[in-house]
Amino acid sequence: MVIAIFGPTASGKTAVAEAIADATPAEVISADSMQVYDGLPILTNQPVRPAALVAIWPLDHEGSVADYQRLAHEAVDGALARGRTPIVGGGTGLYLRAALADLQLPPAPPPGTRERWERLYDRVGPEQAHAALAERDSQAAGAVHANDRRRVVRALELHDAGGSLAPPRDRLWSDETRHPTMIFGLDVPKRVLDERIRERTEAMFESGVEQEVERALQAPLSRTASQIIGLREVASLRREEAIEAIALRTRRYAAYQRKWMRRISGLQTVSADRPAEETAAEILARAQPA
């Protein structure tokens, strides 16, 4: 049995996963697209205790879901082979699904592909770029608006890699998993979550996130690493402005994560507005065979 834990930022996923691991033979496996990077442990709120797939890539590594999926499957299968329960926890919905299921992901496109399509979009404009997509992948073009630059570019990039933004059978939102799995979503009232996000953001600065970011920016960053929440704010804003900007951006991301919770098939909601040990105990009780 695999136990998966999903929830918005600051809902307590790490603490709950560690509490489960304290109560039963288990191994924690991260499903977080930011925590996979080494060099920014404060900014990405990496756990202090060991967890698989945390800080595994240097900051110049161009990450992909396909890369992560291969490593996640190895981690899950390894835990099961050792007779331990894999606890897959994180706030990146696509990474969570990739860890649990066998998603049919396109290979990584050649270097520079996304930049080439971004330049085309900016040069010819939304309508012509969308028309170029329609010539190549009419289904994807029908699923994205011409003014959505990011998704039009992504659809063109996927087509070059042999994939599609609108595959014929979308397994992302299905209930298919590689192993018997129970998925739990941590529910925290919005007011409480907003307070936690603010407190976490302030704590990052007290812990030295400014110096951490300064060191990280002395070396090249990949496109994927450069998208880590808070990186550009810490680097370019005064402390108080950065705290406000990061807290706002994180709250918006948390709202997006709550939308993921509503789409993950089979997810069971559990209250996380209490000590992590109590939430973990409820999850373990629900996971017991009937």
Strands 2-6 and 268-271 come out as unpaired
pLDDT attached to residue 167: 63
Domain containing residue 239: CATH number:
3.40.50.300
DSSP E strand stretches across the chain: 2-6, 26-30, 85-90, 181-187, 268-271
- CA distance to 37, 94, 221, 225, per residue, from 61 (Å): 8, 19, 8, 8
Residues 94 and 215 reside in one and the same domain? yes
Beta pairing partners, 6:
90, 185
- Identify whether the C-beta of residue 281 lies closer than 8 Å to the C-beta of residue 274: no
Residues 77 and 130 reside in one and the same domain? no
pLDDT attached to residue 111: 76
Nearest CA to 230 out of 45, 22, 14 is that of: 45
Q: Which residues of the chain have pLDDT under 70?
A: 106-108, 167-173, 290
pLDDT attached to residue 166: 74
Residues 58 and 137 reside in one and the same domain? no
- Identify whether the C-beta of residue 93 lies closer than 8 Å to the C-beta of residue 260: yes
Residue 168: inside a domain: no
- CA distance to 64, 72, 95, 152, 184, per residue, from 107 (Å): 9, 17, 16, 18, 30
Which residue range is the domain that position 17 belongs to?
Answer: 2-103+173-287
Residues 76 and 10 reside in one and the same domain? yes
Residues 180 and 130 reside in one and the same domain? no
CA distance 90 to 178: 18
pLDDT in tens, 118-146: 999 999 999 999 999 999 999 889 988 99
pLDDT in tens, 232-276: 999 999 999 999 999 999 999 999 999 889 888 899 999 999 999
pLDDT attached to residue 67: 92
Residue 166: inside a domain: no
Residue 165: inside a domain: no
Q: What is the pTM of this model?
A: 0.84
169: left (phi > 0), else alpha (psi -120 to 50), else beta? beta
Residues 126 and 97 reside in one and the same domain? no
Give how many domains the chain has, as a whole number: 2
